Structure 1
Amino acid sequence: MVDAREYHERTNHSPERIRSDSFSLNQANKPRPYKVYENLPRRSLPEATRSPDEPALAAIATSNAAPRAGNDPSSLDAQAIHTLCHYATGITKELEIQGRRMRFRAASCTGKLYHIDLYAVTGDIDGLDPGVFHFDPDTGSFDVLRDGDYRGVLARATGNQQAVSDAPVTFVATSEWWRNAWKYRERTYRHAFWDSGTVLANLLAVAHGNDHQAMVVTGFADDPVARLLGIDPAEEAPLELVPVGSGDPTPDPLPVETIDPEEAPLSQNPVEYSLVPDAWRQSRLADGEEAKAWRERFHVSSERAFGRHDSSDAEMVSLDPVDRETASGRPVWSTIERRGSLREYSHDSISSQQFATILDRALRGMPTDCFAAETIDGLVDCYCLVHAVDGIPSGAYQYHPNANVLERLGETDRRTAGHLALDQPVVGDAAANVYLMADIDAIVEAVGNRGYRVAQLEGGIGLGRLYLATYAHRALGGRGFTFYDDLVTEYFSPRAANQTPMTLFALGKSAR
């Protein structure tokens, strides 16, 4: 099996690899962007509500599982389950583009291929009997995979992790590989965590905005979860668990009989890219005890062990994000519905307070099981290329969230910014580019191959929150991009010489 470090190296983009690549897309073989079960009953739940009215900038600014301070957790019912799924992976708008009716999902996805699915494993919820359900974004209904309360299976798979053991519902995010590999081939394993990250950023925002406890659980035994969902990891695999709510202890695990639900073919001739499921398999955990031990490896480590960088004595630019009272009040639901993927940027500058607020709210750390120790708040560092932000000189910077400062690393220019981003000049047109970067060697050395998942996921959730923080501002937009991995590292060196980019987000004002 391929090591995470080897996988990452083998899927790096470089100018030489891109120039020599003769691959072309087969449009006739393009997979359907959602799955269709042919033999399962369906449940229609009450229509999603447009709550919460909590501002998006407040809802995303949390690094722990608890709802807002001082608020009692809200109860979960069937409508709440539908609302969470709808604003995470559902269809939020339809537009006519060049004579074609296009449907857009709540969260961004590489290539608009939408390979991330959400499953809900529930107890007895008002309006919904216990069961294992698959959310169908095409119809907004739920496919019934199993009847009965199987939450104990997930609790055992996590080593009885507290949030999972106490949640009335736990969502499982998966990737159906071919739906992304059609275009991106072996790089799909990275995209699985980028794209599940944007989905989970929305899910967490809606949950926290509605005062539900919610966090991401990355430490669990993989095969029992796949068996519970009736999926084959060679084709579709579980990525993360998200327990939502509290105060409903799980029962003892039910026996899990094998199911093989019939799924309609995604396309005429699916192509297998074996490196993708192989990279997933090399990071599996065998059982709950191994999952618990893996989390402990995080808890005894420090940020220094993961290759992150503190500030130095270089030139600093202090940032001044707006406070809650004066920040944009655009609600979570409205922000998710407004979110797009900006295609053309003007060279107009954005305000330093807008930029500071976006970074501050989006990059406070994600609520997860493996960052429970006080010494760890993440695996990634943030680097910025600033082109047009009022009061901040153009240049390359490292952003330090705890101090809310930019540390100047050097010069930059728009042409170089576009070159780093896979020679996409539009990236250089943006007001700023935000790279989230991690030391893969140090992470794998400290916590094994599964740590690579967490680093990519943290980049993905950061990307999703950057989308939400940007689109919470009326005049701003943004989009995620890919990049030449090693050129980005070289550009931010010597500071980032040990780190490689996880995700890239470009933000600014529209040219239209």
Structure 2
Amino acid sequence: MHRLTSYEPGREWTEPADDPRVVQDLEVNDLDRLPWFYKRYTRPLLRIELPRDLPPTTASAVAVLAGSADVAPAELDLPRLSRLLHLSAGVVRTTERPYGTYLFRAAGSAGGRFPLELYVAVPDGSAVPAGVHWYDPREHALVQVGPPPSGGAPSVVVTGVPWRTGWRYRERGYRHVYWDAGTMLAQLLAAADSSGLGASLHTRFPDAAVAALVGADGVHEWPVAVVGLGDEGPALEATGSAVAGEVDAAPVEFPLATAAQRAGDRDTLGAPWDRGAPVDVTLEATEPVEAVIRSRSSQRRMDPTRGLSESMLVTFLRAALRGVTVPHRVVVHDVEGLAPGVYRWPDLSTPARAGALRDELYRVCLEQGLAADAAFVVIAATDVGALDDREYREAQLAAGLVEGRLHLLAYGLGASASGMTFLDSAVPALLGETLDALLFTCVGVPEYVPAAGGLPGAPTEFRMVTPRVAD
């Protein structure tokens, strides 16, 4: 999977790899086949309108991400669930395109494809209506698709829709599903932590059972992660059939992605992720999580003449990598107190590869300007050959989680960030190590301040800034 979805010089990123396991006859970015922005249900189903006035919080977003915020425990109720869902996957911005209104969710997504669906599985006895509910991101409502699960605590089930991102990125969209899931989960977990909800992230679970619980078919939609919201383990045992719904009118299957997903399937619920001990950060900010998330956007222009401080880089990396074991490297362009070059976090004493690398990053990142204009670029990289199929999923998700946290930390402290794709074959030479890149995140000084995202039911309308890669 990783090799067949890698970019290399001499082949455009839109072209398929020459291999029979890769779909060859797909015209990517075909607007006549633009996938739906979210799932649809044709059968009349019970809808529960979520509160549109979101309960405010006071803890600093930076402290929340560092694990040092003092937040009183709270029970899940409908207002807190409403806040959680909107700040992680609600529609917050729209823009008009020749083919219609384009919807942007609260969390970032590679290419603006947003290939995720969220469900809330609530057993009997909770303050939230019992049942398995799909989250309608545009109308900000719950749609009951199944009966209440048995036992345990309420949970959020995240699924991926490979066609929605594969429409643009082919089979490489498999990686993007997990990147985007990690990015979104960074916001969901921060929203939960800031409101006092005990949240536990599970990436090992009985795949077939969880898919059946939410009505996913395992081909065009499959489970990616489960977040328990309570002291008990998540309630994942179905007590009846779920309505399947449709992810698109005519979704295309990517057999390679289907095979990769099934190869990592498990039968039992694993332990939750270690969220990590609180970390010391040198910088603080007062903005709460909801304000930072609304201010966050995918930056398209950074000022290459302005750098950031070493204390800012250290704050970002310590908090973003809390509890994450995937190795990360940092390419420094302009950080006060640090010489330009490649550093192997957490060692900032001397670069592993010294020198100015703006031009090289520009080439490695497919001539996207942000890679050269950023103050520094964070790179998740590991030996994917040493991972089993489930660990590969988890590594991609972890890279996305770090990217999502970097976004929040950057916007919380007056900087900006943007995820970035890359030429896989060029990464070992860049890093000076035989490692496989998972994800690049550019962090720098913004050239503009984006309009804040809207509240439920009132997304902000905006005009697109010149994109880094033409649509």
Counterpart CA distance in 2 for 1:119 and 1:408 is 44
Indicate yes or no: 2:364 matched with 1:413: no
Query: SS of the residue aligned with 1:194?
Result: helix
Distance of aligned partners of 1:75 and 1:173 in 2 relative to their CA distance in 1, 3 Å threshold: same
Task: Give the C-alpha shift of residue 209 in structure 1.
Answer: 1.0
Q: 2:29 aligns with which of 25, 43, 66?
A: 25
Higher relative helix content: 1
Match of residue 258 from structure 1: 241
Task: Give the C-alpha shift of residue 126 in structure 1.
Answer: 5.8
Amino acid paired to 2:248: L
Distance of aligned partners of 1:207 and 1:235 in 2 relative to their CA distance in 1, 3 Å threshold: same
Match of residue 374 from structure 1: none
Alpha-carbon contact 1:345-1:510 (below 8 Å) kept: yes
Q: 1:361 aligns with which of 319, 329, 333?
A: 319
Counterpart CA distance in 1 for 2:42 and 2:14 is 42
Distance of aligned partners of 1:416 and 1:175 in 2 relative to their CA distance in 1, 3 Å threshold: same
Task: Give the C-alpha shift of residue 235 in structure 1.
Answer: 0.7
Task: Give the C-alpha shift of residue 98 in structure 1.
Answer: 10
Counterpart CA distance in 1 for 2:220 and 2:401 is 24
Amino acid paired to 1:14: E
1:116-265 aligned at under 5 Å gives the runs 116-124=116-124, 127-148=127-148, 150-152=149-151, 165=152, 167=153, 169-246=154-231, 256-263=239-246
Alpha-carbon contact 1:77-1:125 (below 8 Å) kept: no
Distance of aligned partners of 1:173 and 1:394 in 2 relative to their CA distance in 1, 3 Å threshold: same
Amino acid paired to 2:65: I
Indicate yes or no: 2:329 matched with 1:346: no
Alpha-carbon contact 2:48-2:143 (below 8 Å) kept: yes
Match of residue 444 from structure 2: 508
Task: Give the C-alpha shift of residue 282 in structure 1.
Answer: 0.6
Alpha-carbon contact 1:107-1:199 (below 8 Å) kept: yes
Alignment TM-score, normalising by the size of structure 2: 0.85
Alpha-carbon contact 1:53-1:333 (below 8 Å) kept: no
Amino acid paired to 2:444: G
Alignment TM-score, normalising by the size of structure 1: 0.78
How many residues are aligned here? 432
Task: Give the C-alpha shift of residue 322 in structure 1.
Answer: 4.7
Task: Give the C-alpha shift of residue 48 in structure 1.
Answer: 4.9
Match of residue 488 from structure 1: 427
Alpha-carbon contact 1:93-1:337 (below 8 Å) kept: no
1:372-383 aligned at under 5 Å gives the runs 378=325, 380-383=326-329
Distance of aligned partners of 1:205 and 1:221 in 2 relative to their CA distance in 1, 3 Å threshold: same
Q: 1:273 aligns with which of 238, 246, 254?
A: 254
Distance of aligned partners of 1:122 and 1:266 in 2 relative to their CA distance in 1, 3 Å threshold: same
Task: Give the C-alpha shift of residue 259 in structure 1.
Answer: 3.7
Task: Give the C-alpha shift of residue 102 in structure 1.
Answer: 5.1
Counterpart CA distance in 2 for 1:99 and 1:338 is 27
Query: SS of the residue aligned with 1:436?
Result: strand
Alpha-carbon contact 1:151-1:250 (below 8 Å) kept: no
Distance of aligned partners of 1:98 and 1:359 in 2 relative to their CA distance in 1, 3 Å threshold: farther
Amino acid paired to 2:262: R
Alpha-carbon contact 1:399-1:405 (below 8 Å) kept: no
Counterpart CA distance in 2 for 1:364 and 1:355 is 14
Distance of aligned partners of 1:26 and 1:78 in 2 relative to their CA distance in 1, 3 Å threshold: same
Deviations, residues 124-171 of structure 1 (Å, cap 9, x unaligned): 4665321111111011001101233x144xxxxxxxxxxxx4x3x111
Amino acid paired to 1:332: V
Task: Give the C-alpha shift of residue 271 in structure 1.
Answer: 2.3
Counterpart CA distance in 1 for 2:241 and 2:124 is 23
Mind listing any 5+ residue stretches in structure 2 that lack a counterpart? Answer: 17-26, 449-471
1:279-294 aligned at under 5 Å gives the runs 279-285=260-266, 287-288=267-268, 291-292=269-270
Distance of aligned partners of 1:208 and 1:261 in 2 relative to their CA distance in 1, 3 Å threshold: same
Match of residue 87 from structure 1: 87
Alpha-carbon contact 1:330-1:472 (below 8 Å) kept: yes
Match of residue 463 from structure 1: 403
Distance of aligned partners of 1:273 and 1:249 in 2 relative to their CA distance in 1, 3 Å threshold: closer
Deviations, residues 275-321 of structure 1 (Å, cap 9, x unaligned): 11111011001x22xx55xx69x99xxxxxxxxxxxxxxxxxxxx97
Match of residue 55 from structure 1: 60
Report percent identity of matched pairs: 29
